[in-house]
């Protein structure tokens, strides 16, 4: 049995747990040690059981809690060398470098990071295989190039960014320079971009689709859901559609 729990997703912090009978991996560490422990406990998981931590990139909403976690856990941290160099504050002691496209085995979980377009040192998303299931965690990217679309094929569970509503972003409170960054090809996926992928390139295999990294200022869960549902309906597909939240963990997805 494979269980994915999105502990939280958004500009305030990102972290997900993938659990199997042999391993437990945290993907990103955007919450404090105390908050991570609390959210794990809400889903009957323990911080001390974590086998490894994988980091997608160095932005604070993905690594804010990393230093606190590794002070308590004798847990290896997997990331690229360039991401490691870009980290601010105390660096983790037990580091395992990977390169995009390289498969890493942790217990019975196989993780393949792949390059994504985002304004970070060396950003990646993750394709994961465990017990015959494939999961993809794909957030923090400005658009979906062909190499990313290829990685998403055959996923049983797809976690996909749906960061902002374009009109809300344009009239919202951010400075214009920040708006330009979010809308750029190294920024974040909009509801429209996510739904365009679901309507045009998504292969329909996933039993679960999770919309993630929603902006609290420039999006609404209802808008993201409507865009995705309309796209999926045009293709005649009806996976379980979930919206990741910033404030609390989602129920575990069991595959």
pLDDT tens across 190-237, in order?
999 999 999 999 999 999 999 999 999 999 999 999 999 999 999 999
Residue 94 CB neighbours (<10 A): 13
pLDDT tens across 142-192, in order?
999 999 999 999 999 999 999 999 999 999 999 999 999 999 999 999 999
For residue 91, pLDDT over 80 is answered with no
Over range 41-53, report the average pLDDT: 97
Q: What pLDDT does residue 177 have?
A: 97
**Pair 38, 45: CB distance under 8 Å:** no
Q: What pLDDT does residue 41 have?
A: 98
**Pair 115, 124: CB distance under 8 Å:** yes
Q: What pLDDT does residue 57 have?
A: 98
Q: Residue ranges of the domains in the chain?
A: 3-248
Rg (CA), the chain: 17
pLDDT band for 92, please (50, 70, 90 cuts).
confident
Q: What pLDDT does residue 88 have?
A: 86
183: phi then psi, degrees, rounded to nearest 5: -80, -10
pLDDT tens across 110-141, in order?
999 999 999 999 999 999 999 999 999 999 99
Q: Which two tokens stand for residue 7?
A: 């502990």
For residue 74, pLDDT over 90 is answered with no
Give this prediction's pTM.
0.97
For residue 93, pLDDT over 90 is answered with no
- Does domain 3-248 sit in CATH 3.60.15.10? yes
Q: What pLDDT does residue 89 have?
A: 78
Q: Which two tokens stand for residue 134?
A: 């494939």
Q: Measure CA 4 to chain center.
A: 11
């Amino acid at each position: 049995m494979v269980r994915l729990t999105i502990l939280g997703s958004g500009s305030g912090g990102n972290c997900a747990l993938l659990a199997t009978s042999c391993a437990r991996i945290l993907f990103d560490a955007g919450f404090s040690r105390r908050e991570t422990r609390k959210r794990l406990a809400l889903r009957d998981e323990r911080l001390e059981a974590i086998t490894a931590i994988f980091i997608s990139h160095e932005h604070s909403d993905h690594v804010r809690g990393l230093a606190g976690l590794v002070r308590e856990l004798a847990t290896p941290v997997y990331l690229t060398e360039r991401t490691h160099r870009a980290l601010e504050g105390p660096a983790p002691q037990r580091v395992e470098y990977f390169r995009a496209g390289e498969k890493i085995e942790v217990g019975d979980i196989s993780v393949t990071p792949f390059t994504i377009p985002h304004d970070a040192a060396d950003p990646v998303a993750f394709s994961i295989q465990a017990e015959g299931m494939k999961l993809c965690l794909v957030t923090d990217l400005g658009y979906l190039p062909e190499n990313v679309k290829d990685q998403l094929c055959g996923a049983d569970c797809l976690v996909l960014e749906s960061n902002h509503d374009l009109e809300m972003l344009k009239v919202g409170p951010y400075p214009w320079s920040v708006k330009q960054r979010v809308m750029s090809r190294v920024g974040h996926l909009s509801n429209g971009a996510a739904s365009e992928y679901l309507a045009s390139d998504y292969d329909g295999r996933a039993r679960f689709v999770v919309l993630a990294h929603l902006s609290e200022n420039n999006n609404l869960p209802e808008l993201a859901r409507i865009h995705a549902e309309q796209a999926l309906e045009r293709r005649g597909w009806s996976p379980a559609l979930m919206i990741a939240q910033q404030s609390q963990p989602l129920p575990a997805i069991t595959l």
